[in-house]
Amino acid sequence: MTASATGDIAIPERPFTFGQLIAAQAAGDAQVLENHGRPVLRLHLTDRGAGVAQLQEIVAALAGQASALES
DSSP for 7-68, written as a single string: S--BPTTSSSBHHHHHHHHHHHHHHHHHHTT------EESSHHHHHHHHHHHHHHHHHHHHH
* Of residues 33 and 66, more confidently modeled: 33
Q: Residue type for 16, please?
A: F
Instruction: Record the pTM.
Output: 0.70
Among residues of the chain, what percentage have pLDDT more than 70? 100
Taking 90 as the threshold, does the pLDDT of residue 70 lie above it?
A: no
- Calculate mean pLDDT across residues 4-10: 87
Question: What is the pLDDT of the chain when averaged over all its residues?
Answer: 92
Q: For residue range 45-63, list pLDDT tens digits in order.
A: 999 999 999 999 999 999 9
The total number of structural domains in the chain stands at 1
Domain that holds residue 28: 2-70
